[in-house]
Protein backbone atom coordinates (compact mmCIF):
# COMPACT_ATOMS: atom_id res chain seq x y z
CA UNK A 1 0.00 0.00 0.00
CA UNK A 2 1.26 3.48 -0.86
CA UNK A 3 2.27 5.56 2.13
CA UNK A 4 0.07 8.37 0.80
CA UNK A 5 -2.95 6.25 1.72
CA UNK A 6 -2.04 6.11 5.40
CA UNK A 7 -3.99 8.50 7.64
CA UNK A 8 -2.23 8.13 11.03
CA UNK A 9 1.10 6.75 12.20
CA UNK A 10 0.44 4.56 15.25
CA UNK A 11 3.35 4.13 17.67
CA UNK A 12 3.15 1.04 19.87
CA UNK A 13 5.80 0.12 22.47
CA UNK A 14 5.80 -3.59 23.29
CA UNK A 15 7.76 -5.62 25.82
CA UNK A 16 7.57 -9.39 25.30
CA UNK A 17 3.80 -9.10 24.98
CA UNK A 18 3.21 -10.79 21.65
CA UNK A 19 -0.28 -12.21 22.25
CA UNK A 20 -1.64 -8.79 23.19
CA UNK A 21 0.28 -7.06 20.40
CA UNK A 22 -1.21 -9.46 17.85
CA UNK A 23 -4.70 -8.73 19.14
CA UNK A 24 -4.05 -4.97 19.12
CA UNK A 25 -2.75 -4.91 15.56
CA UNK A 26 -5.52 -7.21 14.35
CA UNK A 27 -8.07 -4.77 15.78
CA UNK A 28 -6.39 -1.83 14.04
CA UNK A 29 -6.49 -3.64 10.73
CA UNK A 30 -10.05 -4.92 11.11
CA UNK A 31 -11.80 -2.06 12.87
CA UNK A 32 -10.19 1.09 11.49
CA UNK A 33 -12.08 3.17 8.95
CA UNK A 34 -8.80 4.32 7.36
CA UNK A 35 -5.52 2.57 6.69
CA UNK A 36 -2.71 3.49 9.04
CA UNK A 37 1.03 3.14 9.34
CA UNK A 38 1.72 0.80 12.27
CA UNK A 39 5.10 1.22 13.97
CA UNK A 40 6.24 -0.94 16.89
CA UNK A 41 9.20 -0.60 19.22
CA UNK A 42 10.23 -4.02 20.47
CA UNK A 43 11.67 -4.03 23.98
CA UNK A 44 13.80 -7.21 24.20
CA UNK A 45 11.66 -9.35 21.86
CA UNK A 46 12.70 -12.75 23.17
CA UNK A 47 9.12 -13.99 22.74
CA UNK A 48 9.22 -13.99 18.93
CA UNK A 49 7.83 -10.48 18.44
CA UNK A 50 10.48 -9.38 15.86
CA UNK A 51 9.94 -12.49 13.76
CA UNK A 52 6.16 -12.02 13.79
CA UNK A 53 6.44 -8.34 12.83
CA UNK A 54 8.78 -9.17 9.95
CA UNK A 55 6.44 -11.90 8.70
CA UNK A 56 3.54 -9.45 8.75
CA UNK A 57 5.36 -6.56 7.09
CA UNK A 58 5.25 -4.23 10.10
CA UNK A 59 8.04 -1.71 10.63
CA UNK A 60 9.75 -1.76 14.01
CA UNK A 61 12.72 -0.66 16.03
CA UNK A 62 14.26 -2.83 18.73
CA UNK A 63 16.34 -2.57 21.89
CA UNK A 64 18.15 -5.39 23.65
CA UNK A 65 16.59 -4.41 26.98
CA UNK A 66 13.40 -2.71 28.10
CA UNK A 67 14.00 1.01 27.56
CA UNK A 68 10.45 2.03 28.52
CA UNK A 69 7.81 3.92 26.57
CA UNK A 70 9.53 7.33 26.26
CA UNK A 71 12.66 6.15 24.49
CA UNK A 72 10.53 3.63 22.57
CA UNK A 73 8.05 6.06 21.01
CA UNK A 74 10.78 8.62 20.33
CA UNK A 75 12.83 5.99 18.49
CA UNK A 76 9.89 5.44 16.13
CA UNK A 77 9.51 9.13 15.21
CA UNK A 78 12.00 9.00 12.25
CA UNK A 79 9.82 6.31 10.63
CA UNK A 80 6.64 8.42 10.72
CA UNK A 81 5.34 9.35 7.26
CA UNK A 82 1.94 10.88 8.06
CA UNK A 83 0.88 14.19 9.60
CA UNK A 84 -0.68 12.64 12.71
CA UNK A 85 1.00 10.61 15.42
CA UNK A 86 -1.01 8.22 17.61
CA UNK A 87 0.49 6.72 20.74
CA UNK A 88 -1.19 3.43 21.68
CA UNK A 89 -0.42 0.69 24.20
CA UNK A 90 -0.12 -2.91 23.07
CA UNK A 91 -2.77 -4.10 25.57
CA UNK A 92 -5.55 -2.23 23.76
CA UNK A 93 -8.24 -3.32 21.32
CA UNK A 94 -9.71 -0.58 19.12
CA UNK A 95 -13.44 -0.63 18.44
CA UNK A 96 -14.89 -0.04 14.94
CA UNK A 97 -14.38 3.45 13.48
CA UNK A 98 -12.31 4.64 16.44
CA UNK A 99 -10.12 6.54 13.98
CA UNK A 100 -12.97 8.06 11.97
CA UNK A 101 -14.30 9.95 14.98
CA UNK A 102 -10.85 11.30 15.79
CA UNK A 103 -10.34 12.44 12.22
CA UNK A 104 -13.77 14.08 12.07
CA UNK A 105 -12.84 16.09 15.15
CA UNK A 106 -9.51 17.07 13.62
CA UNK A 107 -11.18 18.22 10.41
CA UNK A 108 -13.56 20.43 12.40
CA UNK A 109 -10.73 22.41 13.99
CA UNK A 110 -9.18 25.60 12.60
CA UNK A 111 -5.57 24.58 13.22
CA UNK A 112 -3.35 21.77 14.49
CA UNK A 113 -3.08 23.00 18.09
CA UNK A 114 -5.01 20.12 19.63
CA UNK A 115 -4.50 16.98 21.67
CA UNK A 116 -7.19 14.31 21.46
CA UNK A 117 -7.73 11.01 23.28
CA UNK A 118 -9.99 8.07 22.54
CA UNK A 119 -12.31 6.96 25.34
CA UNK A 120 -11.25 3.81 27.15
CA UNK A 121 -13.43 0.95 28.32
CA UNK A 122 -11.81 -0.95 31.19
CA UNK A 123 -12.85 -4.09 33.07
CA UNK A 124 -12.31 -2.76 36.60
CA UNK A 125 -13.62 0.31 38.45
CA UNK A 126 -11.50 3.36 37.74
CA UNK A 127 -10.94 6.66 39.55
CA UNK A 128 -11.44 8.99 36.56
CA UNK A 129 -14.82 9.58 34.90
CA UNK A 130 -13.16 9.95 31.51
CA UNK A 131 -12.96 6.14 31.42
CA UNK A 132 -15.98 3.87 30.95
CA UNK A 133 -15.58 1.45 33.84
CA UNK A 134 -16.30 -1.14 34.89
CA UNK A 135 -16.98 -2.54 31.46
CA UNK A 136 -15.70 -6.07 31.79
CA UNK A 137 -15.14 -7.95 28.55
CA UNK A 138 -12.19 -9.91 29.87
CA UNK A 139 -8.92 -9.19 31.61
CA UNK A 140 -6.66 -11.23 29.32
CA UNK A 141 -6.42 -12.46 25.75
CA UNK A 142 -7.74 -15.86 26.81
CA UNK A 143 -10.77 -14.41 28.62
CA UNK A 144 -11.50 -11.64 26.10
CA UNK A 145 -15.12 -11.65 24.91
CA UNK A 146 -14.59 -9.86 21.64
CA UNK A 147 -18.01 -10.56 20.19
CA UNK A 148 -19.74 -9.19 23.27
CA UNK A 149 -17.60 -6.05 23.15
CA UNK A 150 -18.33 -5.43 19.49
CA UNK A 151 -22.03 -5.94 20.05
CA UNK A 152 -22.31 -3.54 22.97
CA UNK A 153 -19.47 -0.98 23.08
CA UNK A 154 -21.74 1.73 21.65
CA UNK A 155 -24.40 1.16 24.28
CA UNK A 156 -22.45 2.77 27.13
CA UNK A 157 -23.67 6.34 27.55
CA UNK A 158 -20.73 8.68 27.86
CA UNK A 159 -20.07 12.27 26.78
CA UNK A 160 -16.99 13.93 25.30
CA UNK A 161 -14.69 15.04 28.09
CA UNK A 162 -12.01 17.56 28.99
CA UNK A 163 -8.37 16.88 29.61
CA UNK A 164 -7.07 14.41 27.02
CA UNK A 165 -3.91 12.65 28.16
CA UNK A 166 -4.52 8.89 28.04
CA UNK A 167 -3.43 6.79 25.10
CA UNK A 168 -4.62 6.21 22.53
CA UNK A 169 -3.97 9.86 21.87
CA UNK A 170 -3.23 11.85 18.75
CA UNK A 171 -1.24 14.97 17.99
CA UNK A 172 0.04 16.64 14.82
CA UNK A 173 3.66 15.73 14.16
CA UNK A 174 4.68 19.43 14.14
CA UNK A 175 3.55 19.72 17.76
CA UNK A 176 5.27 16.45 18.63
CA UNK A 177 8.52 17.85 17.25
CA UNK A 178 8.01 21.26 18.85
CA UNK A 179 7.91 19.78 22.37
CA UNK A 180 10.46 17.04 21.65
CA UNK A 181 8.25 13.98 21.96
CA UNK A 182 8.03 12.16 25.29
CA UNK A 183 10.47 13.19 28.04
CA UNK A 184 13.07 10.47 28.54
CA UNK A 185 13.79 11.63 32.10
CA UNK A 186 10.45 10.00 32.97
CA UNK A 187 11.65 6.59 31.80
CA UNK A 188 10.41 3.92 31.97
CA UNK A 189 7.29 6.05 31.64
CA UNK A 190 5.29 6.74 34.81
CA UNK A 191 3.74 10.25 34.53
CA UNK A 192 5.12 10.76 31.04
CA UNK A 193 1.52 11.21 29.80
CA UNK A 194 0.72 14.26 31.96
CA UNK A 195 4.23 15.59 31.29
CA UNK A 196 3.63 15.44 27.53
CA UNK A 197 0.32 17.27 28.04
CA UNK A 198 2.07 19.88 30.19
CA UNK A 199 4.63 20.49 27.45
CA UNK A 200 1.85 20.95 24.93
CA UNK A 201 0.08 23.36 27.29
CA UNK A 202 3.25 25.41 27.67
CA UNK A 203 3.53 25.40 23.85
CA UNK A 204 0.12 27.07 23.61
CA UNK A 205 -2.22 24.10 23.13
CA UNK A 206 -5.57 24.55 24.89
CA UNK A 207 -7.74 22.04 23.05
CA UNK A 208 -7.42 18.85 25.13
CA UNK A 209 -10.47 16.75 24.31
CA UNK A 210 -11.54 13.16 24.84
CA UNK A 211 -13.76 11.83 22.06
CA UNK A 212 -16.51 9.59 23.41
CA UNK A 213 -17.39 7.94 20.09
CA UNK A 214 -13.78 6.82 19.59
CA UNK A 215 -13.72 3.81 21.87
CA UNK A 216 -10.90 1.45 22.78
CA UNK A 217 -10.88 -1.50 25.15
CA UNK A 218 -7.95 -1.55 27.58
CA UNK A 219 -6.88 -4.70 29.43
CA UNK A 220 -4.93 -2.56 31.96
CA UNK A 221 -1.36 -2.76 33.22
CA UNK A 222 -0.23 -5.78 31.28
CA UNK A 223 3.28 -4.30 30.97
CA UNK A 224 3.40 -1.62 33.65
CA UNK A 225 2.80 -4.22 36.33
CA UNK A 226 6.15 -5.83 35.43
CA UNK A 227 8.38 -2.76 35.33
CA UNK A 228 10.41 -1.04 38.04
CA UNK A 229 8.66 2.33 38.20
CA UNK A 230 10.22 5.78 38.26
CA UNK A 231 9.06 8.31 40.88
CA UNK A 232 7.01 10.14 38.31
CA UNK A 233 4.79 12.17 40.60
CA UNK A 234 7.79 13.75 42.33
CA UNK A 235 9.55 14.30 39.00
CA UNK A 236 6.48 16.06 37.63
CA UNK A 237 6.25 18.29 40.71
CA UNK A 238 9.90 19.27 40.57
CA UNK A 239 9.79 19.92 36.83
CA UNK A 240 6.56 21.91 36.62
CA UNK A 241 6.05 23.30 40.13
CA UNK A 242 2.62 21.75 40.41
CA UNK A 243 1.42 18.27 41.25
CA UNK A 244 0.17 16.10 38.45
CA UNK A 245 -3.17 15.81 40.24
CA UNK A 246 -3.53 19.59 40.39
CA UNK A 247 -2.55 19.96 36.76
CA UNK A 248 -5.15 17.42 35.70
CA UNK A 249 -7.88 18.75 37.98
CA UNK A 250 -7.35 22.53 37.87
CA UNK A 251 -5.76 23.10 34.45
CA UNK A 252 -6.97 20.34 32.13
CA UNK A 253 -10.16 19.49 34.08
CA UNK A 254 -9.67 15.86 33.08
CA UNK A 255 -12.86 13.83 33.09
CA UNK A 256 -15.25 16.78 33.27
CA UNK A 257 -17.91 17.00 30.53
CA UNK A 258 -16.53 18.75 27.47
CA UNK A 259 -16.63 22.54 27.77
CA UNK A 260 -14.77 24.34 25.00
CA UNK A 261 -14.87 27.70 26.74
CA UNK A 262 -13.38 26.20 29.89
CA UNK A 263 -10.57 24.51 28.00
CA UNK A 264 -9.66 27.55 25.89
CA UNK A 265 -9.15 29.74 28.96
CA UNK A 266 -5.58 30.46 30.01
CA UNK A 267 -5.38 28.79 33.40
CA UNK A 268 -3.02 30.65 35.69
CA UNK A 269 -2.96 27.85 38.23
CA UNK A 270 -0.24 26.43 35.98
CA UNK A 271 2.18 29.19 36.95
CA UNK A 272 4.55 30.34 39.65
CA UNK A 273 2.51 33.02 41.42
CA UNK A 274 -0.36 30.82 42.59
CA UNK A 275 2.02 28.02 43.51
CA UNK A 276 4.44 30.18 45.49
CA UNK A 277 2.58 30.07 48.78
CA UNK A 278 1.05 26.66 48.09
CA UNK A 279 4.22 24.66 47.60
CA UNK A 280 7.16 26.74 48.81
CA UNK A 281 7.71 25.04 52.15
CA UNK A 282 6.98 21.61 50.71
CA UNK A 283 9.40 21.89 47.81
CA UNK A 284 12.25 23.52 49.71
CA UNK A 285 12.16 20.62 52.15
CA UNK A 286 13.74 18.51 49.42
CA UNK A 287 16.82 20.79 49.43
CA UNK A 288 17.27 20.42 45.70
CA UNK A 289 18.57 23.21 43.39
CA UNK A 290 15.69 22.69 40.97
CA UNK A 291 13.22 23.39 43.78
CA UNK A 292 14.86 26.72 44.65
CA UNK A 293 14.74 27.78 41.00
CA UNK A 294 10.94 27.74 41.13
CA UNK A 295 10.90 30.68 43.51
CA UNK A 296 13.81 32.80 42.24
Q: What is the overall mean pLDDT for the chain?
A: 90
Checking if the pLDDT of 144 tops 90, the result is: yes
Checking if the pLDDT of 153 tops 70, the result is: yes
Q: How many helices (H) and strands (E) does the chain have?
A: 12, 9
Distance CA 82, CA 173 (A): 8
Sign of CA dihedral 258, 262, 266, 270: negative
Cα 277 versus chain centre, distance? 32
Average pLDDT, integer, range 197-223: 93
Domains of the chain: 3-235+246-265 (3.90.550.10), 267-296 (no CATH)
112: three-class secondary structure by DSSP: coil
* Whether 52 contacts 82, CB under 8 Å: no
User: What's residue 295's pLDDT?
Assistant: 33
Closest by CA position to 115, among listed 199, 28, 232: 199
- pLDDT, tens digit, for every residue of 7-62? 999 999 999 999 999 999 999 999 999 999 999 999 999 999 999 999 999 999 99
- pLDDT, tens digit, for every residue of 116-135? 999 999 999 999 999 999 99
Amino acid sequence: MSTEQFKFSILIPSWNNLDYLKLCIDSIRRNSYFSHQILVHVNVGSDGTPEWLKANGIQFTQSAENIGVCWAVNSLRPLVNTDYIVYMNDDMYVCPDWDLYLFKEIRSLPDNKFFLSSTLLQPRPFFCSSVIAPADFGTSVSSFRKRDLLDSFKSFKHADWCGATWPPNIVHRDLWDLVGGYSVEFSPGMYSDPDFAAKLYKAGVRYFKGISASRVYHFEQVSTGRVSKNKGSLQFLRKWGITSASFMRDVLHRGEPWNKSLMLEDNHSFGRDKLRSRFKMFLTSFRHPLDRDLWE
